[in-house]
Structure 1
Amino acid sequence: MELTKKEILNNKKTYAEKPYYTVKLQVQACNFELLLNDIPVFSYSVKGGMTNEIPLNSYILKSGRQYLKIKLTPINNQLKLSEQVDLSLDLGHSSIIGENIFGGYIQSGNYKLPQEIKDKQLPYLEMEIPFNAEVPWDYSYILDNAEDLSRVGNLDPFVKKFHKLLEQKNSKEYSEILKNKIKRQSDVKYLSEKEIDVVVKELDLSRIKKLYPLEDYEVKIYANGKLIRFVSKKPDENGNRYLFKFAVPPLMPGGNDGESALNYLFYLPKGKEELEIF
């Protein structure tokens, strides 16, 4: 773990400007999915209303034109979007000027679901909002140098191998396939050494108390075939379709075990045989 932390710290860069892009959302009465540059960012089943501010830096691979996509579908197995459906958002960025200190917010775009769209009670609604972003990094090579996984054959051996890795609590191999992701995340989120300590501790798989068996799954494809996610065919009571699920010890002594899951995106670097975590 110390070696992994050292590599992450060695990758950290010093930037004169530290833009921090977010989207501020208000959503009501729908299943909601948000993607940036065809990379899944956030999804939720909103039965009442939800207000949230979602960080976007991790999904911006380089400066230039970005594409924010929003998908709305009916809740509760309804065939059409409810007349109560609603959506509004503000898109923009602040600048980090100190530890946990943000400068003024600069808006890049906004959107409000028109009443005439609500009145139509559509079975599905999708919209795309383009905006420009200026960031001090370029990680576009990750997907530029990745294989098109939509053309790759049977991925079941990898799924079983990854599940076995979790079952055996093989923290060393797990940290190795996660290392590049953490390097990038610590860079684009401007993580402090203390925050990196927290992330590295999560690489310790000994926290897994019980790994749940694999379920029937399917493969979701993103980013023009460069990214995939393995999802259970059977959603849980909240609509989540996590495949790699496990129990963790209770937060408080005498409490019940908690539940957690890993919901990674995977890619295959050209010239390699093993999938890596994006």
Structure 2
Amino acid sequence: MGKNYYSTNFSFSMLLTIMLEISCVGTGEKIAHPPITESNPTTVSVGNALSVKEKMIKHFPIQPLYYIYIDHEQCFFEILVNDIPAFQYFQDGGIMSPITLNNYIAKSGKQKITYRLYPQTEREHGEGFQQLTPFTRFNLTLFSRDNRDTVAGFDHQVQLIDHANLKKEDGKTFIGAGLPYYEYTVTFDASVPYEVPALANATDLSKLSKDVLEEKTLEAYNYFRDLIANKNKDVYSALVFNSDVRQIVSLYQDENDVREGGNEDMFYFDNPTFKVEPIKDFTLKLYGDGKLVCLEHSSLDLRLRGGSAIWGKYKGDTGGTFARFLRLYLYIPKGKDSFEIW
């Protein structure tokens, strides 16, 4: 069916509308596909999700783990790996923990790390900046180590990249000084023992009409949001299964990791104080070289900036109110007619 559609004169926006709707034979009544579907190898529900995931655990003689450390000053930043957001930091102060990249590496070969720098508009001490300053600093160091070596792994880590942001001719001034935004990409070769489904086999969503894509993405987001609001654990567990398995394999997770991940998923259903918010004030974003779509908050409020349009509030143990964001990336596998969760 997909090949026939591609060979017609339909616009891609018409194609998506046709793909996501089916007409009832003999009645003319339209039955909408669920806006998000799954292609799991077996039936998955909340009751068996944990046991099925545990069967997907893989162990390898060597388990290369790739991670970066960031040293930055006078900027906010985002990190993308293979054009997929891996980390964002819109806070004052520095970050000490490593950022693991494997979840964004589908197979061995060339990988790319992109950093996007923004002015540090708010600071705890002193005024913020509206443009990137001459003293903006962003250093990125990439390491790899064997994840199976839990005793001396860090002692044996290998440095692969030591990148400092570019300077102007004076050798001191940040090359992006005065700009509201700066982006740079570095590449490296990864060697991993696994191969997970890659986005090469996904539809290029950048060719769709933006209005139609936004309409269908919003429909999918509301559908997913309502699963949480209505406590539909079974459908939720089935839809996120393949995404969870990619993480299990690429991060070399064990049984304890899988159980902790399952507990995190159930937080949205089992915490009686968690209330998911309506989806509004969002911006459509494409990632994964046009293969992934998501909705992000359009607000520049640092508490919301860059966050998923699916989010909610809950009460902490101390009585304060906290927020959680559910990042949801969608794609359409080639040969299929509905979104799946990446």
Q: Does 1:92 align with 2:143?
A: yes
Taking a change above 3 Å as real, the CA distance of residues 119 and 231 of structure 1, as seen in their structure-2 partners, is closer
Please give the per-residue CA displacement for 1:194-237, whole angstroms capped at 9, x wherever unaligned.
Answer: 11111112232232621212212221101221111211222433
Q: What TM-score do the two structures reach when normalised by structure 2? A: 0.74
1:272 & 1:121 partners in 2: Cα distance?
46
Please give the per-residue CA displacement for 1:123-158, whole angstroms capped at 9, x wherever unaligned.
Answer: 03222111111001112x431221122234332321
Q: Using the aligned pairs only, state the percent identity.
A: 26
Q: Is the 8 A contact 2:143 2:160 kept in 1?
A: yes
Please give the per-residue CA displacement for 1:233-278, whole angstroms capped at 9, x wherever unaligned.
Answer: 22433334331111224234xx234321112222122233332221
Q: Does 1:168 align with 2:230?
A: yes
Q: Secondary structure at the match of 1:75?
A: coil
1:97 & 1:165 partners in 2: Cα distance?
37
2:103 & 2:240 partners in 1: Cα distance?
15
* Larger deviation, residues 146-155 vs 184-193: 146-155
1:119 & 1:23 partners in 2: Cα distance?
22
2:287 & 2:244 partners in 1: Cα distance?
20
**Bigger CA radius of gyration:** 2
1:173 & 1:194 partners in 2: Cα distance?
23
Q: Does 1:191 align with 2:248?
A: no
Match of 2:184 among 121, 127, 136: 127
Q: Which has the higher contact order (CA 8 A, sep 6+)?
A: 2
1:91 & 1:199 partners in 2: Cα distance?
26
Please give the per-residue CA displacement for 1:27-70, whole angstroms capped at 9, x wherever unaligned.
Answer: 11112111111111111124343333100010111101111111
Aligned to 2:158: 106
Aligned to 1:248: 314
Taking the TM superposition and a 5 Å limit, the aligned residue runs for 1:215-230 are 215-230=280-295
Taking the TM superposition and a 5 Å limit, the aligned residue runs for 1:9-158 are 9-76=54-121, 78-98=129-149, 102=153, 104-113=156-165, 114=167, 115-118=171-174, 121-123=177-179, 124-139=181-196, 141-152=197-208, 153=212, 154-155=215-216, 156-158=218-220
Deviation of 1:98 (Å): 4.5
| Superposition CA RMSD, Å | 2.2
Taking a change above 3 Å as real, the CA distance of residues 200 and 62 of structure 1, as seen in their structure-2 partners, is same
2:321 & 2:118 partners in 1: Cα distance?
33
Match of 2:277 among 204, 212, 216: 212
Q: Secondary structure at the match of 1:147?
A: coil
Q: Is the 8 A contact 2:91 2:302 kept in 1?
A: no
Q: Does 1:7 align with 2:63?
A: no
* Larger deviation, residues 141-150 vs 163-172: 141-150
Q: Secondary structure at the match of 1:202?
A: helix
Equivalenced residue count is 275
Taking a change above 3 Å as real, the CA distance of residues 266 and 62 of structure 1, as seen in their structure-2 partners, is same
1:31 & 1:213 partners in 2: Cα distance?
27
Taking a change above 3 Å as real, the CA distance of residues 61 and 102 of structure 1, as seen in their structure-2 partners, is same
Q: Is the 8 A contact 2:116 2:182 kept in 1?
A: yes
More strand by proportion, 1 or 2? 1
Q: Secondary structure at the match of 1:68?
A: strand
2:253 & 2:191 partners in 1: Cα distance?
19
* Larger deviation, residues 76-85 vs 258-267: 76-85
Q: What TM-score do the two structures reach when normalised by structure 1? A: 0.90
Taking a change above 3 Å as real, the CA distance of residues 241 and 188 of structure 1, as seen in their structure-2 partners, is closer
Please give the per-residue CA displacement for 1:167-191, whole angstroms capped at 9, x wherever unaligned.
Answer: 1121111111110111111111111
Taking the TM superposition and a 5 Å limit, the aligned residue runs for 1:229-268 are 229-238=294-303, 239-252=305-318, 255-268=319-332
Deviation of 1:120 (Å): 6.1
1:100 & 1:200 partners in 2: Cα distance?
27
* Larger deviation, residues 29-38 vs 112-121: 112-121
